[in-house]
Amino acid sequence: MIILHKELRESRIKGKGKHASSTENRRMVWEKIVWPLVLDVNRTYFSLKEYHVKRDQYCQTYKVRPSKVASGVVSLMVKGILVREKKKEGGENIYSI
């Protein structure tokens, strides 16, 4: 019982679990960066350059670390919500929903 109590106390100190943080980052990136970007460009795909501009605006405005945003993008790709397509000859990587 003492061990269980100690584990619960340590988990409260650390904050959210890995799954909760991943979900939070994924939702933040989708709601604040990806979906607004899709609406801005008026298509279901966007270039890496377009994404970087939107990401940088968001990070600067809301004082969010780019690493937190990056983990959200990776999470979207792992879940299959965002798909990276191979570079076309001489073109940029394209990301689509």
54, part of any domain? yes
Q: What is the full per-residue pLDDT of the chain (97 aa) written as tens digits?
A: 444 444 444 444 456 676 778 889 999 999 999 999 999 999 999 999 999 999 999 999 999 888 889 999 999 999 999 999 877 666 778 999 9
Residues 6+ apart with CB under 8 A from 36: 54
Task: Report pTM.
Answer: 0.77
Count of structural domains, the chain: 1
- Give the closest residue to 40 by CA, choosing from 60, 25, 24, 58: 58
Domain coverage including residue 33: 18-96
Q: At what angle do helices 18-29 and 66-78 cross, to 10 degrees?
A: 90
CATH of the domain at 28: 1.10.10
Does residue 6 fall inside a structural domain? Answer: no
Which pair of structure tokens corresponds to residue 91? Answer: 């073109």
59 part of a folded domain: yes
Residue 8 domain flag:
no
